[in-house]
Chain A
Amino acid sequence: MAKPRKTRGESLVLRYAVLGTWALICLLPILWFLSIGFRPRTEVITPEPIYFPTFSLDAWHLLVSDWPIAQYLRNSIIAVAGSVVIDLILAIPAAYALSRYEFKGREDIGFYILSTRMMAPAIVAVPIFFLFKTVGLLDSVWALMLIYAAINLSLVTWIIRSYMLDIPKELEDAARTDGASDLRILWEIIIPACLPGIITAAVIAAIFAINEFLFTLLIASTANAYTMSVALANFTGGSDGIIYNAIALVSFIAFVPILILVILIQKHLSRGLTMGAVKG
Chain B
Amino acid sequence: MRTDAPSVPAEGVAQATPNRRKAPPRRRSPALRKAFPYLLVAPAVIYLLAITLYPGIFAIYQSLFVVRFVNWTWTGLGNYQAILQDREFWAALGNTAIIGGISLTLQTCIALALAYFAYRDPFIRGWRILYLMPMLFMPSAVAFLWKLAFNDGRVISDMLIGLGLVEANVDWLGNVWLARLTLIVADVWQWTPFLFIIFVAALQGQDQEIEEAARLDGASWPSIFWNISLPMMRPVIVVAVTLRGIDITTMFTNVFVMTQGSPGGATETMSYFIYRQGFRMFNFGYASAASVLMLIMTIIIAQTVVKRAFHSGKK
A interface with B by C-beta (< 8 Å): 1-6, 11, 14-15, 18-19, 22-23, 25-27, 29-30, 32-33, 36, 44-45, 48-49, 86, 89-91, 93-94, 96-98, 101, 103, 106, 109, 111-131, 135, 146-147, 149-150, 153-154, 157, 179, 181-184, 207, 210-211, 213-214, 217-218, 228-230, 232-233, 241-242, 244, 247-248, 250-251, 254-255, 258-259, 262-263, 266, 269-271, 273-275, 277-280
**A146 CB to nearest chain B CB (Å):** 5
Among B44, B204, B252, B294, the residue within 8 A (CB) of A93 is B44
With A101-B36, A126-B291 given, name 12 new contacts (CB 8 A).
A2-B222, A106-B37, A123-B55, A123-B294, A123-B295, A126-B62, A126-B278, A217-B256, A229-B141, A244-B153, A248-B144, A277-B313
Among A33, A119, A126, the residue within 8 A (CB) of B145 is A33
What are the residues of chain A within 8 A of B176 when measuring CB–CB?
none
Interface residues of B in 180-214 (CB under 8 A from A): 189, 193-194, 197-198, 200-202, 204-205
The SS class assigned to the B binding surface is helix
What are the residues of chain A within 8 A of B230 when measuring CB–CB?
none
What are the residues of chain B within 8 A of A126 when measuring CB–CB?
59, 62, 274, 278, 284, 287-288, 291
Q: Are B298 and A118 neighbours in the complex by a CB distance under 8 Å?
A: yes
Interface residues of B in 2-40 (CB under 8 A from A): 7-10, 12-13, 16-17, 20, 23, 25-26, 34, 36-38, 40
Q: Does B93 contact A (CB under 8 A)?
A: no
Among B158, B197, B307, the residue within 8 A (CB) of A49 is B158
Among B20, B40, B222, B298: residue with most chain A CB under 10 A:
B40
**B89 CB to nearest chain A CB (Å):** 13
What are the residues of chain B within 8 A of A29 when measuring CB–CB?
134, 145-146, 149, 189
Q: Are A211 and B220 neighbours in the complex by a CB distance under 8 Å?
A: no
What are the residues of chain B within 8 A of A128 when measuring CB–CB?
51, 55
**A169 CB to nearest chain B CB (Å):** 16
Q: Are B129 and A94 neighbours in the complex by a CB distance under 8 Å?
A: no
What are the residues of chain A within 8 A of B194 when measuring CB–CB?
273
What are the residues of chain A within 8 A of B9 when measuring CB–CB?
146, 149-150
Convert B108-128 into 0s and 1s, putting 1 for each residue whose CB lies closer than 8 angstroms to a CB of A.
001001100110010001011
**A130 CB to nearest chain B CB (Å):** 7
15 A-B contacts (beta carbon < 8 Å): A25-B189, A45-B153, A93-B16, A122-B250, A122-B270, A125-B274, A130-B58, A130-B284, A131-B54, A181-B25, A182-B23, A214-B271, A247-B141, A251-B137, A270-B200
Q: Are A103 and B252 neighbours in the complex by a CB distance under 8 Å?
A: no
What are the residues of chain A within 8 A of B114 when measuring CB–CB?
18-19, 22
The 7 closest A-B pairs by CB, nearest first: A280-B201, A270-B201, A127-B55, A251-B141, A122-B271, A97-B40, A181-B25
How many residue pairs at the A-B interface have CB separations less than 8 Å?
324
Q: Does B82 contact A (CB under 8 A)?
A: no
Q: A22-B131, A27-B130, A262-B136 are in contact. Are A120 and B313 (CB under 8 A)?
A: no
Q: Are B270 and A15 neighbours in the complex by a CB distance under 8 Å?
A: no
Among B44, B131, B291: residue with most chain A CB under 10 A:
B44
What are the residues of chain A within 8 A of B229 when measuring CB–CB?
none
**B149 CB to nearest chain A CB (Å):** 7
Among B47, B140, B313: residue with most chain A CB under 10 A:
B140
Q: Does B218 contact A (CB under 8 A)?
A: yes
Among B56, B153, B221, B271, the residue within 8 A (CB) of A44 is B153
**A22 CB to nearest chain B CB (Å):** 6
What are the residues of chain B within 8 A of A18 when measuring CB–CB?
113-114, 117
Q: Are B118 and A278 neighbours in the complex by a CB distance under 8 Å?
A: no
Q: A179-B26, A207-B136 are in contact. Are A122 and B275 (CB under 8 A)?
A: yes
**A114 CB to nearest chain B CB (Å):** 7
How far is B36's CA from A101's CA once the two chains are assembled, in angstroms?
Answer: 9
Q: Does B306 contact A (CB under 8 A)?
A: yes
The SS class assigned to the A binding surface is helix
What are the residues of chain B within 8 A of A182 when measuring CB–CB?
23, 36
B interface with A by C-beta (< 8 Å): 7-10, 12-13, 16-17, 20, 23, 25-26, 34, 36-38, 40-41, 43-45, 47-48, 50-52, 54-56, 58-59, 62, 110, 113-114, 117-118, 121, 125, 127-134, 136-141, 144-149, 152-155, 158, 189, 193-194, 197-198, 200-202, 204-205, 218, 220-223, 236, 239-240, 243, 246, 249-250, 252-253, 256-257, 270-272, 274-275, 278-279, 284, 287-288, 291, 294-295, 298-299, 301-302, 306-307, 310, 313-314
**B171 CB to nearest chain A CB (Å):** 15
Q: Are A121 and B131 neighbours in the complex by a CB distance under 8 Å?
A: no
Q: Are B148 and A244 neighbours in the complex by a CB distance under 8 Å?
A: yes
What are the residues of chain B within 8 A of A230 when measuring CB–CB?
140
Q: Are B48 and A32 neighbours in the complex by a CB distance under 8 Å?
A: no
Q: Are B43 and A90 neighbours in the complex by a CB distance under 8 Å?
A: yes
Q: A109-B45, A213-B253 are in contact. Are A124 and B301 (CB under 8 A)?
A: no
Q: Are B158 and A103 neighbours in the complex by a CB distance under 8 Å?
A: no
Q: Are A127 and B59 neighbours in the complex by a CB distance under 8 Å?
A: yes
**B192 CB to nearest chain A CB (Å):** 8
What are the residues of chain A within 8 A of B144 when measuring CB–CB?
232-233, 242, 244, 247-248, 251
How far is B17's CA from A155's CA once the two chains are assembled, in angstroms?
Answer: 21
What are the residues of chain B within 8 A of A250 when measuring CB–CB?
141
